[in-house]
Structure 1
Amino acid sequence: MPLIFRALFVLIAGLLMAETVAHASDEDRPHITIGTQEVGLSAGYLLPHRLTEDHTTKQQGPAVMPSWMITITDPVGNSWYRGQVSIGAEMVYIQFQEPILTHGIGFTPKIKYMFVALDRFRPYMEFAGGPFWTDLGGKIPEESTQFNFVLTAGFGFSYFITKQAAINVGYRFHHISNAGTKYPNLGLNASLPFGGFSFFF
């Protein structure tokens, strides 16, 4: 786990240094307007959090998240927080490798705020939530149902290698539970460092 975060830190620091050394020309600067669409693919590795003594399951495994978004605002604000809002949807697939090899899949509406004060390097915050199915339900003490909901919140950094393509790295906090529809419902909590790419058109 420390190695993952060290690698992310080195990558982010390198992108920031590149941004300060050479600013994008007007031709290469990303130009995102209302109606600009984004398709992306991210992948990461789920790392468990046991928040209470009753959380005993060490669920972990790889995750894949294809997504689609559309920009719904022009840049707002005049300082470092200047940014744009996008909405869209994402599929999430998780292969749980512990405590048993099993799977989970969900669909989450999503909202993102991307900071645009810099040229190519653009931090963002994102939130998503929606239905999630996993056959862990009934096999671990934290979950009693196969049908659940997944909530995620996180941040990331996009670096535009061209005006239409960007590479992304980031972090999300994941919570999976059935919203109290059946008990026990302690829920599963995890961190998800990830990387991926996006194409804008």
Structure 2
Amino acid sequence: MQSAHHRRHLLLLQDDGTGQGPCRFVSDRRHRHLVVGLSLLAVVSGLSPLMAHADGPISHPPVGTQTVAVAGGPFFPIRLLSSQSSKLFGAAIMPSWSMTVTDPIGSSWYRGQVSLGAELLAFETSEPLTGYGVGVTPKLQYTFVSLDRLRPYLEGGGGPLWTDLGGQVPEQPGKFNFAVWGGAGGSWLLTPHWALNVGYRFVHISNGGTRMPNSGLNFGLPFIGISYSFY
């Protein structure tokens, strides 16, 4: 009985011996989410005077419209293969730029516009180990424009990514990798220029077969953010 109790106690210990490891991880994640939520609330509150002057319909953006945005959120592991054993949790932030390159295409509910751009993907893992990653990905987005202020969209991208998780997890032996992602979301136009964005992405990280093993890491990433468009 004493031995079993001792083993359970060891499972709760941190490296520093405080015995509050799991509680600390949960607390850290909740703190980050609270900071993101409060920051977004502050931005929306600051835009409320502008929203009061933008009650009418908002037309689709003209070709050449540029949009700068920032989004962030927590990510969690998605293990699709038996060789993907790591369960990494953390948070990511994605500043981006894009340009509308077409007039509305199609008709009815699927009427939309194509945008091209680039994005910086930066992330930190916090559980069960600490790691960092940063990459740059070109991105393609199709935005549905038939619902006035609500603008659903599909998006995807991919590009090089550096992470110090290489060698720390069994799926990836090196630091140079590639990130490929795809997802969907929606923008709510607060004004003709400002929008609130929410969405979800599936992210795959691997080295493209340049080294072995190459099981890859998969993540689910719900996010929220804000964007500004200028003509």
- What TM bracket, shorter-length normalisation? 0.7 to 0.9
Question: CA–CA distance in 1 between the matches of 2:167 and 2:72?
Answer: 27
Which residue number corresponds to residue 175 of structure 1? 204
Matched, 1:25 2:60: no
Secondary structure at 2:222 match in 1: strand
Q: Deviations over 1:151-183 (max 9, x none)?
A: 000000000010110000000000000000000
Q: 1:59-88 deviations in whole A, cap 9, x for unaligned?
A: 110100000000000001111000000000
5+ unaligned residues in a row in structure 2: which ranges?
A: 1-32, 34-53
Q: 1:158: which partner in 2?
A: 187
Match of 2:103 among 66, 74, 94: 74
Separation in structure 2 between the aligned mates of residue 24 and residue 124 of structure 1, nearest angstrom: 23
Q: Does 1:193 align with 2:222?
A: yes
**Bigger fraction of residues in helix:** 2
Does the Cα contact within 8 Å between 1:30 and 1:160 map onto a contact in 2? Answer: no
Q: Does the 8 Å contact 2:60/2:145 carry over to 1?
A: no
* Unaligned stretches of 5+ residues in structure 1: 5-22
What is the match of residue 82 of structure 2?
A: 53
- 1:85 has 2:114 as partner: yes
Partner of 2:66: 37
- Measure how far apart 1:50 and its partner are: 1.3
Q: Letter of the 1:199 partner, please give it.
A: Y
Q: Which residue of 1 aligns with 2:45?
A: none
Shift of the 196–30 alpha-carbon distance from structure 1 to 2, 3 Å rule, reads farther
TM-score norm. by structure 2 comes to 0.75
Higher relative contact order (CA 8 A, sep 6+): 1
Aligned mate of 1:100, from 103, 123, 129: 129
Q: How large is the RMSD of aligned CA atoms in angstroms?
A: 1.4
Q: Bigger radius of gyration, 1 or 2?
A: 2
Query: 1:24 Cα deviation (Å)?
Result: 5.2
- Post-superposition offset of 1:31: 3.7
Contact 1:134 1:146 in 2 (8 A): yes
- The residue aligned with 2:51 is none
TM-score, normalisation: structure 1: 0.86
Which aligned segments of 4 or more residues in structure 1 are displaced greater than 6 angstroms?
A: none
